[in-house]
Amino acid sequence: MAPGITTDNTKMTFVPSRNDEPPTLYQGLNETELQAKTQKFLLNYGTKFNKDVICGSKGLYVYTVSGHKVLDWTSGQMSCLLGHGHPEIVKVIADHAASLDHLFSGMVSPPVISLGERLSSLLPPGLDKAFFLSTGGESNEAAIKMAKVYTGKFEIVGLGASWHGVTAQALGTQYHFGRKGQGPLMPGMLMLPAPNSYRSIFRRPDGSYDWEAEMEYGWNMVDMQSCGSLAAVIVECIQSSAGMHVLPPGYLAALKRHCEKRGMLLIVDEAQTGVGRCGDIMAITHENVVPDILTLSKTLGNGLPLSAVVTSAEIERVCIERDYCFYTTHVNDPLPAAVGDKVLEIVVRDQLVHHSREMGVILHVALNKLKEKYACIGDVRGRGLMAGVEIVESRETKAPAIALGKAIGDRAYELGVWANLSSHPSFGGTFRIAPPITITKQQLLSGLKVLEKAFATTPGTMPL
């Protein structure tokens, strides 16, 4: 029987690998020397490097040169959906590196065809045809250009706390970080208020979040600013980089109605939410909303550079007539496509969407219990195996406690769990938790126990 699968008379069930022995590829190195070379030779690209040098990754763990084993609760950069070094993914990479790796961009290959077929079969009608690129920013760039070509208009609306990439058009649609220091951005980029049930000033008389009023206010602002060339809205169903803010129920459907009213397309960016992470095969499935264009990345490649743009045959037809072009060196490359095809096969075969939903329930119940114990936790949010834990100075003022959050995160890392803290002030000081969806109940509970110990042993967490 293949690793990872067990059967009874009725169904297949996921069983994870128990082999968590550290890999030996880069053992025996001098960490102090490596840190010095990091400072000397590596160019800063907008973030400080963590002190530890990582020499290996296996399953749900990463290993430092100094020998520290850490449970990876961010799946690398929210990408290793099936964990590090999954044996079937490793085999696909090795086979295609040896036999079918990279081709002329106008050539097509079996893994690309298979991935297109498998992906479209998992999506609702209207998302019928795909092509494949390398990064999430690239796929969003391609989607925005497609919307402009299709509609003949150029204004793009984004949400105030989204992250869509750092290329020109993708960057133009994100407003909380990365926009400064480069002069004018793309023209025609407009903003809706970021849905934030914890902090929004839009409240009903009973104090509950009034996202409908906030959305109407935002669209009024957009309509006043628009020069009459509104082409598309781009949105994440969970705004991860902003602190794991989930769109309110009904928000995505209302957004699509606003788009239809104005002759705009709806683009949904599922870089982090797609392929089972949130307890549904796609986040749009949870909302039962079909966008005009869907973009995928991160989780689709399990850590390899792979992204997708998916749309309808009708949008493709019009774009062909209008000479749409997004021709890149690595478009539809066979090796990453084969990996994406295998990722989708494993997720469906091993019932990992259901597994993610079940583990997500355990995760969120435990995090909310932790909130009941520590007053520094202002909010817990998310869905499935995506969770945000916001650290505050006071529940009354909701002032972010970024230094405290960093201290808790450092302590958790010391104890063996990596949970990324969005420490930039615009991100609000929120732990972003997104482990591989292959995580077992035992591994999840073990990580939660470590996280609770981090809160218990860090000064200033305000035990209740």
Residue of 161, 182, 183, 184 lying closest to 173 (CA atoms): 161
Residue 163 annotated in active site:
yes
Alpha carbon distances (Å) from 247 to 39, 176, 194, 364, 400? 40, 17, 9, 17, 21
- 34 neighbors 53 (Cβ within 8 angstroms): yes
**Which listed residue (72, 269, 341, 379) is catalytic?**
269
Residue 432 annotated in active site:
yes
Phi, psi of 46 (to 5 degrees): 115, 10
Residue 37 CB neighbours (<10 A): 12
Q: Which segments of 401-460 does DSSP mark as H helices, in order?
A: 402-415, 441-456
- 272 neighbors 240 (Cβ within 8 angstroms): yes
**Which listed residue (236, 292, 390, 393) is catalytic?**
236
**Which listed residue (138, 141, 163, 277) is catalytic?**
163
**Which listed residue (169, 174, 239, 272) is catalytic?**
272
The Cα angle at residue 109 between residues 106 and 113, in degrees rounded to 5:
105
Residue 272 annotated in active site:
yes
| DSSP one-letter string for 249-271 | TTHHHHHHHHHHHHT-EEEEE-T
Residue 298 annotated in active site:
yes
DSSP state of 205: T
Catalytic residues: 163, 236, 269, 272, 298, 432
